[in-house]
Amino acid sequence: MNSTDPQIVLGTMDFGTRVGTDRAFAILDSFVAGGGVWLDTANCYSFWNDPGGVGGASERVIGAWLRARPGAREAVRIATKVRQNPLVPHSWPDSAEGLSARAVHTGVEQSLERLGVDHVDLLWAHAEDRTVPLEETVGAFGELVAKGVALRIGAANHAAWRVERARALAREQGVAPYSALQLRHSLVLPRPLTPVAEGGHRMLAAEDLDLAGAEGLAVWSYSSLLWGSYARADKPFPPTYDHPGTARVLAVLDEVAGELSATRNAVVLAWLMRQGIEPIVGASRVEQVEQALAARRVRLGEEHMARFAAAR
């Protein structure tokens, strides 16, 4: 795979909570050995599973792995996020950190300390904060790029118009703009106009892809495999996915997977990458990493993509 092609991103949300340190190390080792590069984390991961009620566990595990693996920092790129970490344990969203200049700088400083690095390759604004002037947030992120603390910046779970407004403000201020989007997306879709159960998730929309294509922005997708629902009978799709479109898409998915001798998951990931989207894949076992990376070998043609489009 060419280095400019979309890549599988390793999601590390459960590291240090549901996934212990030893298993996390094995997953990271397998990912790098298989040619994986990008690690995705956040300063709030995973406060909801942590007995302490705050985030930071995932970043600490990655930091420990980097210390234990000389040269590993040069082999991986690290993306983390600010916004959402509870400032008071067990008090979210009431005490969730925002996107004021002070919050952004403090959040990043703490992330760098946990990771044991002097910069991250991509820093995300994890969600909008409309209590803070957008000019202030843009300026804070731009300052971090100017200092070399973040090489690039991106917007996760943002409305497309807010991203474009932020980019316009960055031009006015003469600072680096958001160059990446991160939103929830997968092959099957929930019923239209039906909210998903997961708080804070924002679905990828056509206007997001339109903006990204017009402005040359990278697009990352999360919940790409819908928590194992494609592959495991004990992980049914959430109720909002129970509609005729899902059945049509899954029928095509099974046909294409059979034709290409690939798994459902691999075809879903290949479908995302075929559109230039970089899918984040969470893993709790080494074999899941190996299966995800195998998606890079699945080649979907125009005819396959047309069949999926017709089913959706």
Residue 218 lies in a domain: yes
pLDDT digits (tens, 9 = 90+) for 231-247: 999 999 999 999 999 99
Q: Is the peptide bond before 46 cis (omega within 30 degrees of 0)?
A: yes
Assign residue 69 the CATH number of its domain.
Answer: 3.20.20.100
Q: How far is CA 77 from CA 119, 152, 195, 288, in A?
A: 10, 11, 33, 20
pLDDT of residue 4: 72
Backbone phi and psi for residue 127, each to the nearest 5 degrees, phi listed first: -160, 165
Dist. CA 55–CA 196, nearest whole Å: 23
pLDDT digits (tens, 9 = 90+) for 265-305: 999 999 999 999 999 999 999 999 999 999 999 999 999 99
For 250-306, the three-class secondary structure string (H helix, E strand, C coil) is HHHHHHHHHHHCCCHHHHHHHHHHHCCEEEEEECCCHHHHHHHHHHHHCCCCHHHHH
pLDDT of residue 311: 96
pLDDT of residue 195: 86
Average pLDDT over residues 195-219: 95
Dist. CA 136–CA 49, nearest whole Å: 32
Residue 296 lies in a domain: yes
Q: What range defines the domain where residue 35 resides?
A: 9-311
Residue 237 lies in a domain: yes
pLDDT of residue 2: 54
Report how many domains make up the chain: 1
Three-class SS state of 171: helix
CB 176 within 8 A of CB 153: yes
User: Which has the closest alpha carbon to 123: 54, 43, 67?
Assistant: 43
Dist. CA 280–CA 39, nearest whole Å: 9
Q: How far is CA 53 from the centre of its chain?
A: 22
pLDDT digits (tens, 9 = 90+) for 92-124: 999 999 999 999 999 999 999 999 999 999 999
Comparison of pLDDT for 193 and 253, the residue scoring more: 253
Range in 44-48, 192-196, 306-310 the model is least confident about: 192-196
pLDDT of residue 1: 52
Residue 1 lies in a domain: no
Average pLDDT over residues 32-48: 98
Residue 82 lies in a domain: yes
Number of neighbouring beta carbons within 10 Å of residue 295: 22
Backbone phi and psi for residue 211, each to the nearest 5 degrees, phi listed first: -60, -45
pLDDT band, residue 170 (cuts 50/70/90): very high
CB 183 within 8 A of CB 203: yes
Alpha-carbon torsion, ordered 196, 200, 204, 206, to 10 deg: 90
Residue 17 lies in a domain: yes
pLDDT digits (tens, 9 = 90+) for 150-166: 999 999 999 999 999 99
Residue 4 lies in a domain: no
DSSP, res 226:
G
pTM (predicted TM-score): 0.96
Question: How is residue 33 written in tokens?
Answer: 């050995």
Write out the H or E segment, with its range, that includes residue 128: none
